[in-house]
Structure 1
């Protein structure tokens, strides 16, 4: 049976489940704010977009502050493709701005409050059951894989042999974000010996993968092949790259969709420890 869908792919674009939930909740908040605003003759659409942007900025700033040493320069800090956001920072900034607006602009209090309540309820009604489902034990899948040498293998057997937490990266040679994050994984695999890193290629041949590794001068251990994309289906990860973090007991601890930086990898590894 396939797992709960964690990401969706629309052509070249991919979205995580969390990103989709944010878009749905914001859409409902925008709709509610528009309808209530019309009744009170006070538009709040621009306010909601500003609130969203400030919340994202707050979430990014707090994440960067927490993992400052993992960023090399200003460009890497501004590159939000790594998904480095701290929800607490976003919540604090968003609530502070909303409360300031409702104090400063009394006319917007009702439509803005209605919009925020609608968005929060939408998020809660959808995310709540999903969190309960995801909270159940999700062991490492026993999907049939193969080594680059053609030998059959499975993730549980590799995890049992290593006896430590495991990070499983689903990738492909045609995926630009996968290529950009590979040096980060290569460095981590060399420096961290209490975590097992596994790289499961999706749908490509051993010859193609070997040529890719040679062309990019990558030295990676535990590169495996999933010729039928079965692991992506069974884990609900339909867009790449996706990184799965399993604890020492073989239970899924965290999932990161999209490109990883040193900071976001560090964040994921902290949960395993």
Structure 2
């Protein structure tokens, strides 16, 4: 009987610890902003890593993100197999068209294979540049503070290379517009 009681207590303790870890990674303030991410700005080296990251176009040809250096840019880490990523793409495309006049660039970074990204874009055309960063893109997103490793993950960088905001999960258009209007 004691063994069952000890085992039951151990299971309850492990569940409680797991809930504590999950809660600690997703503390939101009243506005729905992830407090842990908002409190810790991404290090400058993450932006430097972005400009030098090995990416390809969907046809597999090497490209350079350094073309976007010196411009305000919205970087969206996504994957073809990620439902929320696919759902937010029309909104990102609409915002891209709206903010193009202000010189704000939008870039999709597929944390996926060339083949999957190319097939996806043939079915769902997107009017902003999309590059393939592969599964190593998760490491780059982590450098920007995405410790959970989830997708989609969006980073707004100003023309000076400063990270202005990060968002794990689908973007909220109103929230993103506020950030972009302040650039």
What TM-score do you get using the length of structure 1 for normalisation? 0.48
Q: What is the match of residue 171 of structure 1?
A: 78
Pick one of 228, 236, 249 that aligns with 2:160: 249
How far did 1:135 drift?
A: 7.0
Q: What is the match of residue 208 of structure 1?
A: 116
Pick one of 89, 95, 106 that aligns with 1:182: 89
Query: Which 4+ stretches in 1 moved above 4 angstroms?
Result: none
Pick closer, same or farther for the CA change 1:240–1:136 going to 2, 3 Å.
Answer: closer
Q: What is the match of residue 57 of structure 2?
A: 147
Output one character per residue of 1:158-214: Cα deviation in whole Å (capped at 9) or x when no partner. 223xx3201100001111111111001111222222101100000x22221122122
Contact 1:16–1:257 (Cα < 8 Å) also in 2: no
Measure the CA separation in 1 of the matches of 2:145 and 2:64.
18
Q: What is the match of residue 222 of structure 1?
A: 129
Q: Which runs of 5+ in 1 are unaligned?
A: 1-9, 23-54, 60-82, 88-122
Q: What is the match of residue 20 of structure 1?
A: 26
Pick closer, same or farther for the CA change 1:152–1:254 going to 2, 3 Å.
Answer: same
What TM-score do you get using the length of structure 2 for normalisation? 0.69
Aligned residues: 153
Give 3-state SS (helix, strand or coil) of 1:259's partner. Answer: coil
How far did 1:256 drift?
A: 1.1
Q: What is the match of residue 169 of structure 2?
A: 258
Measure the CA separation in 2 of the matches of 1:166 and 1:134.
17
- The structure with more radius of gyration: 1
Give 3-state SS (helix, strand or coil) of 2:26's partner. Answer: helix
Measure the CA separation in 1 of the matches of 2:23 and 2:96.
25
Contact 1:173–1:209 (Cα < 8 Å) also in 2: yes
Output one character per residue of 1:116-166: Cα deviation in whole Å (capped at 9) or x when no partner. xxxxxxx9xxx6xx83x52754551222111223222343x1223xx3201
Give 3-state SS (helix, strand or coil) of 2:77's partner. Answer: strand
